[in-house]
Amino acid sequence: MRQVRIDSAVPDVLGPGLRILFCGINPGRRSAAAGAHFANPRNDFWRLLHDAGLTPRRLEPGEQHALLELGYGLTNAAYRTTKGSSDLRRADFEGSAERLERIARDLRPAIVAFVGKAGYEGAFREKPALGLQKRTLGATRLFVLPSTSPANAAVPYAERLRWFRALAELAGRR
């Protein structure tokens, strides 16, 4: 099978030995325009990181590279920019599991945390529950968080924060 490299409008933020690699579903239009992950001002990702105790202050999307100093990285399960994740097709996730396996093997993050069930489901073709998964990528554990997208506003903030705090505890950050 020939690999096709797809460049994203939102580049990965990666480094060796990460505590947590956050894996979004795909870049939304605001993130693509900003060239930064979770850039929609109504997306709660950056607020949840801080409120869960994962960052010392609330970072802005343009400060995404500061996450590396804290032991965190960013990627997406699918690279294609869409208005919403419901616009993605199965083909958009082609090669995603293999790419995540390579990242786990080469960079050895302790945890890959999927920000939204759809990223995990797209990569591995199985429906996850929230929280720690049975599947691993070598020594890398997999954790599924609720989506932080404004489209997931039906899930109360307190419930999303509970899962981010559980991740922080698993990573030894609380």
The answer to whether position 105 is within a domain reads yes
Query: Model pTM?
Result: 0.91
pLDDT at 6 over 90: no
CATH value at residue 78: 3.40.470.10
Nearest-5° Cα angle at 57, 56 to 62: 120
Residue 57 pLDDT: 97
3-state secondary structure at position 111 = strand
Beta-bridged to residue 136, according to DSSP, are: 141
* pLDDT higher at 47 or 3: 47
The answer to whether position 7 is within a domain reads no
Q: Which long-range contacts (CB under 8 A, 24 or more apart) does 53-57 make?
A: 53/165, 53/168, 53/173, 53/174, 54/20, 54/164, 54/167, 54/168, 54/171, 54/173
pLDDT at 23 over 90: yes
> Cα-flanking dihedrals φ and ψ of residue 128, to 5°?
-95, 160
The answer to whether position 155 is within a domain reads yes
What's the full length of the chain, in residues? Answer: 174
The answer to whether position 152 is within a domain reads yes
Nearest-5° Cα angle at 153, 146 to 144: 5
32 contact partners, CB below 8 Å, separation of at least 6? 9, 10, 81
Tens digit of pLDDT for each residue in 58-89?
Answer: 999 999 999 999 999 999 988 655 566 666 66
The answer to whether position 52 is within a domain reads yes
Strand runs (DSSP E) across the chain, as ranges? 20-24, 72-76, 111-115, 131-137, 140-145
Both structure tokens of 2: 């020939």
Number of structural domains the chain divides into: 1
Q: Which domain holds residue 62?
A: 20-170
* pLDDT higher at 15 or 81: 15
Residue 1 pLDDT: 37
The answer to whether position 37 is within a domain reads yes
